[in-house]
Amino acid sequence: MSDSPTVPLIELNGLTKTYGIGDAAFQALKGIDLTIQRREFVAIMGASGSGKSTLMNVLGCLDTPTAGTYRYEGIAVQDLSTDERSLLRRYALGFVFQGFNLLPRTTSLDNVELPLLYRGVSRKERREKAVAALTSVGLPTKMDSTPAELSGGQQQRVAIARAIVTEPSTLFADEPTGNLDSVTTGDVMELLKRLNEERGITVLVVTHDDHVATYARRIVVIKDGLIESDVSQSQGGA
């Protein structure tokens, strides 16, 4: 991947995504042009069925476009094999979801170690990195707790620690506060904001919540498979 600052982190041109064929075909994305630079914090908004989740899935290499181009650090993602896309996800991307997706009978530490296990990292290094990640999200005393022993906000912090333990360049968060109350939502968004500012992680958040979007520096609104607006803003969140 290119480290050149002149190469955008993400560049989409004429991106389309169609599900089904013939009369049953549905075009979820209808020609998306979008450029995202390193270290940006972007909120992707839109009503249910607008195409925002489809866009996130394509950006996160969880799905492939029907037509158009997607370049990640200059790499033509649409031309990669399934295995190559898997490697890109494993080494460059982190994911946080509305459902925390933690292993229920496994400690916070073991949950966070899991991506490193898939990479073949040694047990000692896995443990050190997982401890550091959990500490960085404010859970140094919850390493031996299982999800059932944690609040919703704490579970999402464990999920964020798991997403950043691999030191991704981009963090995708799909409705990360959908299961949280307003106070905990603020805590989680402040954490994502800090990871963006202090670690330089590019953060893309899919949300329907206007308040969540205020934490981003840029809001992209999707409507009927197209970008309706793309506006930069001063970062807020208060």
pLDDT per residue as tens digits for the range 83-142 = 999 999 989 999 999 888 999 999 999 999 999 998 889 999 999 999 999 999 999 999
8 Å CB contact between 109 and 102: no
DSSP 96: E
Q: Which residue shows structure tokens 């009503």?
A: 47
Provide the b/e sequence for 128-166 (b: ≥16 CB within 10 Å).
ebbbebbebbebeebbebbbeebeebbbbbbbbbbbbbb
**pLDDT tier, 4 (very low <50, low <70, confident <90, very high otherwise):** low
- For residues 65-74, give the mean pLDDT: 96
Q: Which residue shows structure tokens 């799909």?
A: 174
And the tokens for 161?
A: 């620690």
Residue 3 has pLDDT above 90, yes or no: no
Neighbouring-strand partners of residue 200 = none
| pLDDT score, position 218 | 97
And the tokens for 17?
A: 């995504």
Q: Which CATH number fits domain 10-232: 3.50.50.60, 3.40.50.10740, 1.10.3720.10, 3.40.50.300?
A: 3.40.50.300
Q: What is the pLDDT of residues 143-198, one digit of tens each?
A: 999 999 999 999 999 999 999 999 999 999 999 998 899 999 999 999 999 999 99
